[in-house]
């Protein structure tokens, strides 16, 4: 069977249907949320669109109150089903676009629109994969179920509801990451570390006052900017500004100083990166704190600066927190502090976005963190937690997907891990499978998001073969 030729022969139809889906602004919108459309009108419309396509193809469909839906094909009396999980919600639009984000446009062999690669293009590829299997009349031992989520970009409410209402699949994959196969996802701990009022040094007298310190916009990104407002004797502020210039020059950093009335404002520019790979960025907040901690400060500022510097500076693996660990499957633990704030009359804290390997346990890690920060009289907020996820390499689904990938690409099917989170982790035997090939740069969440048309066709072919193989797997 030439699966690629099957996909290629349906190219015009795939693009037509995908353009229809991409034209729907399926961004979470609480203002239009209502019964039957809990994520808003646009998201509900996208779900209806996909289910209508599936129903027209003869698939059995179900819509659970606009929160999650599915389409199924295969023997109704089969004991097991195989899941293919995609999502139809998209992130908000920002930045400059060459063409409007919900008016899909094909340029230079790429289809541009919000959601093209994340995750509407892969969702459409999955639909056509099952359509190909049906139209060819290929036999299936198991049911194949296409599950369409509506809240992947926020809280995964859709999948929590699905697990309440539906039995678990035997196994499955999500086309929302990269090829070959992502079989392991790190666990996560997200929490704020608070400096309570009355922290050590509240009565300290120094030559400078830290009026405020802010760095970061979202917790799961390495901060690309930081700002500190400093008050003090004018000549000493001038000395501080000169010393900052020298520091930035020696450290090859991009920092500037400006005057605002009688205060000095120090700016630091860093390099943004996803919180799962903090080593790829440069944390502007920690770089600025590393300079400031060398001076004498009024009140609790000195405690804030020295504590953050000791626990976090130049340490993305949690060594200072006493939690460093790694394994061969999912790699090392990472720590990102995406939000740092000092406000003498408000909240003072730093946030940790921690991703730990499958050998870790979040209860043990939290106990170690609590023990360490108690030495500095700090407190943690109740954390948001995610367990690590792993499908063993000897599972028959893994072998089937590896054989599929090798047969369709001629490339080795390495097993990968990620610090991110996908729908796959909601099911015990779930993995991520495509659509990006090794070395491809993702434009997800970015202006001018796109998916190469050739990638759309190749992934459709791979998914068609995978669905056929998994649908006849010996479980």
Strand 177-178 versus strand 435-436 pairing type? parallel
Residue 309 annotated as catalytic: no
Give the whole-angstrom CA distance, residue 422 versus residue 260.
45
DSSP H or E segment with residue 35:
none
Give the whole-angstrom CA distance, residue 107 versus residue 112.
8
CA dihedral angle for residue 368, residue 371, residue 377, residue 378, rounded to 10 degrees: 30
Give the whole-angstrom CA distance, residue 451 versus residue 337.
32
Percent helix / strand / coil, the chain, rounded to 5: 35, 25, 40
Q: Which of the residues 17, 72, 151, 152 is marked catalytic?
A: 152
Q: Which of the residues 89, 153, 185, 309 is marked catalytic?
A: 89
Q: What token pair was written down for 211?
A: 């009026």
Give the whole-angstrom CA distance, residue 376 versus residue 200.
8
Task: Identify any residues that bridge with 384 across adjacent strands, giving them in sequence order.
Answer: 190
Asked if residues 221 and 274 have their Cβ atoms less than 8 Å apart, the reply is yes
Residue 89 annotated as catalytic: yes
Asked if residues 358 and 388 have their Cβ atoms less than 8 Å apart, the reply is yes
Task: Identify any residues that bridge with 90 across adjacent strands, giving them in sequence order.
Answer: 27
- CA neighbor of 152 nearest in space, from 168, 182, 176, 126: 176
Treating both helix axes as pointing N-terminal to C-terminal, what angle do 121-135 and 41-56 enclose, rounded to 10 degrees?
10
Residue 349 CB coordination number (10 Å): 22
Give the whole-angstrom CA distance, residue 428 versus residue 434.
19
Asked if residues 209 and 389 have their Cβ atoms less than 8 Å apart, the reply is no
Asked if residues 150 and 118 have their Cβ atoms less than 8 Å apart, the reply is no
Cα(first)–Cα(last) distance of the chain, in Å? 24
Asked if residues 258 and 265 have their Cβ atoms less than 8 Å apart, the reply is yes
Q: Which residues are catalytic?
A: 89, 152
């Amino acid at each position: 069977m030439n699966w690629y030729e099957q996909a290629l022969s349906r190219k015009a139809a795939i693009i037509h249907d995908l353009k229809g889906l991409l034209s729907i602004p399926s961004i979470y919108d609480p203002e239009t949320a209502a019964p039957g459309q809990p994520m808003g009108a646009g998201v509900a419309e996208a779900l209806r669109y996909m289910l209508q396509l599936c129903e027209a193809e003869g698939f059995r469909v179900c819509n659970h109150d606009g929160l999650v839906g599915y389409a199924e094909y295969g023997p109704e009396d089969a004991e097991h089903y195989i899941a293919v999980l995609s999502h139809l919600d998209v992130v908000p639009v920002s930045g400059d676009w060459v063409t409007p984000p919900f008016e899909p446009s094909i340029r230079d062999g790429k289809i541009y629109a919000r959601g093209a690669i994340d995750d509407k293009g892969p969702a459409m590829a999955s639909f056509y994969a099952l359509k190909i299997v049906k139209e060819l009349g290929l036999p299936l031992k198991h049911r194949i179920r296409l599950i369409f989520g509506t809240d992947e970009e926020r809280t995964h409410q859709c999948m929590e509801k699905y697990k309440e209402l539906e039995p678990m699949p035997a196994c499955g994959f999500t086309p929302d990451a990269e090829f070959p196969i992502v079989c392991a996802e790190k666990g996560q701990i997200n929490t704020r570390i608070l400096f309570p009022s009355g922290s050590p040094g509240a009565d300290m007298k120094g030559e400078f006052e830290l009026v405020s310190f802010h760095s970061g916009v979202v917790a799961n990104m390495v901060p690309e900017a930081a700002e500190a407002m400093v008050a003090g004797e004018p000549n000493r502020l001038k000395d501080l500004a000169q010393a900052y210039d020298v520091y930035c020059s020696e450290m090859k950093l991009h920092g500037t100083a400006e005057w605002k009335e009688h205060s000095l404002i120090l700016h630091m520019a860093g390099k943004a990166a996803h919180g799962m790979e903090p080593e790829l960025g440069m944390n502007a907040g920690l770089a600025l704190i590393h300079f400031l901690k060398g001076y004498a400060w009024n009140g609790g500022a000195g405690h804030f600066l020295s504590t953050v510097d000791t626990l976090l500076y130049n340490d993305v693996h949690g060594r200072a927190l006493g939690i460093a660990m790694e394994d061969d499957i999912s790699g090392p633990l990472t720590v990102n502090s995406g939000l740092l704030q000092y406000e003498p009359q408000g909240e003072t804290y730093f946030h940790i976005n921690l991703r730990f390997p499958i050998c870790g346990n979040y209860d043990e890690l939290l106990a170690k963190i609590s023990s360490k920060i108690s030495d500095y009289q700090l407190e943690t907020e109740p954390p948001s937690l995610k367990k690590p996820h792993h499908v063993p390499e000897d599972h028959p689904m893994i072998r089937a997907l590896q054989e599929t990938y090798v047969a369709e690409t001629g490339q080795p099917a390495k097993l990968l891990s990620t610090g991110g989170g996908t729908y796959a982790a909601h099911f015990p035997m779930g993995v991520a499978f495509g659509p990006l090939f090794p070395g491809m740069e993702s434009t997800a969440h970015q202006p001018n998001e796109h998916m190469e048309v050739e990638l759309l066709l190749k992934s459709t072919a791979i998914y068609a073969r995978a669905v056929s193989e998994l649908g006849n797997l010996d479980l």
